[in-house]
């Protein structure tokens, strides 16, 4: 049957583009022939803004890149600043930011899974169950640093304030409840025939292509590559905790979902170990000034953010603000292969694949 190709602009305003993302997609009936991602609708020039701000002020900019994972953004930035300025962080501060980062990973993966299932067409139910758990994490963040999303909790050398007393019992309660909630989510989603048949063997990404396209994070691990910077290049104190890295076997949408779900469990384990290992002490070295003034040079410290390898490439000219601040945004790199992944699949798979890549437009456009 001869058909006429249809080209549609999906986005920038569309229920399931997770922000202002646009795709120019060509369909043959229901089948995707071509897809071109078009981005830049949320470009705020963070990198340029960073050149005019002091090192501490930039922490507030990093919050707004991947706004589902502010803590890990802060962490990546602060690690880079510490390497640049040669600051040795205080131990308790590092433990605190590890706890914060792992909590943030749980929150970010919850959002990712929830919206992935929403893209599958579930009427917000799994999303709301997951947001309920995320809400508890946000409340923990509120106790820690007074904000829920835009935390700005970390400072060069550690964190700005120790966690309050009521934080620890709440965290313990969360750690106790969370595995049970995850079982609920698994019951609802993992064996669900509709989800399985919608996601398995759709948008398969093999190892070589994934590595070649600089794809990192859960997406790379779903393709079966054991590359987790927390394990392979331990920053902070990740070498003192032990955790497993869930890997996918096929590299399809279902694996990406499963890897994220199991990473939540591993993150819970890491937090429990941190709680055993954390000791009282200063949270920030006394000698770190409010105005950090590193020597000339550059630094790049990649970390394992929820979306992938996140790093800040900072160049200093000896002043109070960086000469150049480049963000290696995992969301942007993970979009590279979107076109190749969806071609030949149906319209509905396009959104599921986009959801399983888990991009955050704040980070893509910066």
Partner 1 sequence: MFGIGLLKGLFTTLKNLFGPVFTVQYPNKKVGLLGALKFHKKTPANFIKTQPKDFVKSLAGLHEVPEYPDQATRFRGQDFNWFEDRCTGCASCAKYCPLGIIKIETKPSTRDAKEGSSYDIDVFDIDIGRCMFCGLCVEACPFDALHMGSGFERANEKRNGLVIPVDELRTAIKTPSTWFRPQMENKNYRPKENDAEIKDYRDIGRHEKPSDDELTERWVNER
Partner 2 sequence: MTKELTGNEIKSAINDKFNDLVISIENDHLVIKNDKEKLLDFFNSLKTENKFNLLSSVTSVDYMSKFVVVYHLTSIDKNESLIIKIPCGESRKEPSIVSVTSVWRGAELQEREIYDLMGIYFHDHPNMKRLLLWENFDGHPLRKDFVN
Partner 3 sequence: MGPARDSFLFEIVYCHLSKDPSCDSVRYINFSFIPVELNWLSFSLTAFFWIFAFVNAALISVLMLIWGERRLIGKFQARLGPNRWGPLGLFTPIADAIKVMFKEDVEPTLSDKLIYVLAPILMVVPVFMIFPVIPYGAKSFLTNISVGVVFVLAITSINSLSVLMAGWASGNRFAIIGGIRAVAMLLSYEIPMGISAAGVVIIAGSLSLSEVVEAQIIPNAIFQPLGFLVFLVASTAELNRSPFDITEAESELVAGYMTDYSSMKFGLFYLGEFMATIASSAVIVTFYLSGWRGPSFLPIPGEFWFFAKWIGVIAIFIWFRATFPRLRIDQIMSLAWKGLFELSLINILVIALTMAIWPDPTSTQLLFMTGINWAVFIGSIYIFGKILSPNLTGNKIDKRKVVYGLD
Contacting positions for partner 1 (CB under 8 A):
53-54, 56-57, 59-61, 63, 125, 129, 132, 135, 139, 142-147, 150, 152, 160-161, 164, 184, 187-196, 290
- Number of other CB atoms surrounding residue 239 within 10 Å: 11
Which CB atom, from 32 or from 100, has the smaller least distance to partner 3? 32
Nearest Cα residue to 295 out of 324, 320, 326, 325: 320
Tokens 């089948």 belong to residue: 31
Rg (alpha carbons) of the chain, rounded to whole number: 21
Q: Examine residue 333 and tell whether it contacts partner 2 (CB under 8 A).
A: yes
The answer to whether 312 and 75 are in contact (CB under 8 A) is no
CA distance 55 to 333: 26
Residue 119 or 365 with smaller CB distance to partner 2: 365
For 28-31, which contacts have Cβ atoms below 8 Å and span 24 or more sequence positions?
A: 28/3, 29/3, 30/346, 30/347, 31/344, 31/345, 31/346
Contacts of 264 (CB under 8 A, 6+ apart): 105, 106, 109, 110, 178, 182
Distance of closest approach, residue 336 Cβ to partner 2, in angstroms: 5
Q: Which one of the spans 14-22, 97-105, 307-315, 354-362 is the region binding partner 2 (CB under 8 A)? A: 307-315
CA 238 to chain centre: 17
Query: Checking phi first, is residue 53 left (phi over 0); if not, alpha (psi -120 to 50) or beta?
Result: beta
Q: Does 53 bind partner 3 (CB under 8 A)?
A: no
Counting contacts by CB under 8 A, is residue 132 touching partner 3?
yes
Look up residue 358 and give its two tokens: 């888990």
Q: Does 233 bind partner 2 (CB under 8 A)?
A: yes
Distance (Å, whole) CA 335 – CA 216: 11
What tokens appear for 289 in the block? Answer: 């000034």
Q: Which C-beta is closer to partner 2: that of 268 or that of 364?
A: 364
Q: Shortest approach of partner 1 to residue 176 CB, angstroms?
A: 16
237 touching partner 2, by CB under 8 A = no
Would you count residue 357 as binding partner 2 (CB under 8 A)? no
Residue span binding partner 3 (CB under 8 A) among the ranges 76-84, 94-102, 155-163, 255-263: 255-263
**Residue at token pair 């830049």:** 40
Q: Which does 48 bind (CB under 5 to 8 A by kind): partner 2, partner 3, partner 1, none?
A: partner 2
- Residue 110 makes contact with partner 3 by CB under 8 A: no
Task: Compute how many residues bind partner 2; rule: CB under 8 A.
Answer: 38
User: Cα(90)–Cα(278) distance, rounded to whole angstroms?
Assistant: 12
User: Minimum distance between the CB of residue 314 and partner 2, rounded to whole angstroms?
Assistant: 10
Instruction: Choose the contact partner of 91 out of partner 2, partner 3, partner 1, none; CB within 5 to 8 A by kind.
Output: none
Q: Answer yes or no whether residue 245 interacts with partner 2 by CB under 8 A.
A: no
As measured in angstroms, the least distance from the Cβ of 203 to partner 3 is 10
Nearer to partner 2, 117 or 337 (CB): 337
Structure tokens at 235: 């920053």
| Given 5, 29, 40, 319, the residue binding partner 2 (CB under 8 A) | 40
**Using the rule CB under 8 A, is 226 a contact of partner 3?**
yes
Positive or negative, the CA dihedral 258, 98, 226, 211 is positive
Q: CB of 361: closest distance to partner 2 in angstroms?
A: 11
Long-range contacts of residues 205-210, Cβ cutoff 8 Å, at least 24 apart: 205/251, 205/252, 205/337, 205/341, 206/251, 207/251, 209/337, 209/340, 210/251, 210/337
Q: How many CA atoms lie within 13 A of 284 on its CB side?
A: 19
CB of 179 to partner 3, least distance (A): 16
Residue ranges binding partner 2 (CB under 8 A): 39-40, 43, 45, 47-48, 209, 211-216, 225, 227, 229, 232-234, 239, 298, 300, 302, 309, 311, 313, 315, 323-324, 326, 328, 332-333, 335-337, 365-366
Residue ranges binding partner 3 (CB under 8 A): 6, 8, 14-16, 27, 30, 117-125, 128-129, 132, 188, 192-198, 200-202, 221, 224, 226, 228, 231, 244-250, 254-255, 258-259, 262, 346-351
């Amino acid at each position: 049957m001869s058909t006429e190709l249809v080209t549609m602009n999906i986005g920038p305003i569309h229920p399931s583009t997770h922000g202002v993302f646009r795709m120019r997609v060509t369909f043959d009936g229901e089948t995707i022939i071509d897809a071109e991602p078009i981005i830049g609708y949320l470009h705020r020039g963070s990198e340029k803004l960073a050149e005019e701000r002091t090192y501490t002020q930039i922490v507030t900019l990093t919050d707004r890149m991947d706004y589902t994972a502010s803590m890990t953004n802060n962490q990546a930035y602060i690690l880079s600043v510490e390497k640049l300025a040669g600051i040795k962080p205080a131990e308790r501060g590092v433990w605190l930011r590890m706890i914060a980062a792992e909590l943030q990973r749980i929150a970010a993966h919850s959002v990712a899974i929830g919206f992935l299932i929403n893209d599958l067409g579930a009427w917000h139910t799994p999303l709301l169950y997951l947001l309920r758990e995320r809400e508890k994490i946000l409340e923990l963040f509120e106790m820690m640093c007074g904000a829920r999303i835009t935390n700005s909790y970390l400072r060069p050398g550690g964190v700005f304030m120790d966690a309050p007393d009521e934080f620890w019992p709440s965290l313990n309660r969360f750690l106790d409840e969370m595995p049970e909630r995850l079982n609920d989510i698994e019951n609802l989603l993992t064996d669900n025939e509709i989800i399985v048949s919608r996601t398995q063997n759709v948008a398969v990404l093999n190892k070589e292509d994934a590595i070649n396209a600089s794809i990192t994070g859960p997406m790379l691990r779903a393709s079966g590559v054991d590359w987790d910077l927390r394990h392979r290049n331990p920053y902070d104190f990740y070498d003192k905790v032990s955790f497993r890295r869930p890997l996918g076997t096929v590299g399809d949408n279902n694996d990406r979902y499963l890897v994220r779900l199991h990473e939540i469990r591993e993150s819970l384990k890491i937090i429990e170990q941190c709680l055993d290992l954390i000791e009282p002490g200063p949270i920030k070295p006394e000698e770190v000034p409010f105005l950090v003034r590193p020597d000339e040079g550059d630094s790049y410290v990649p970390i394992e953010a929820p979306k992938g390898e996140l790093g800040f490439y900072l160049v200093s000219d000896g002043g109070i603000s960086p000469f150049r601040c480049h963000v290696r945004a995992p969301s942007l790199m993970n979009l590279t292969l979107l076109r190749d992944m969806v071609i030949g699949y149906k319209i509905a798979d396009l959104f599921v694949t986009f959801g399983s890549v888990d991009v955050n437009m704040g980070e893509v456009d910066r």
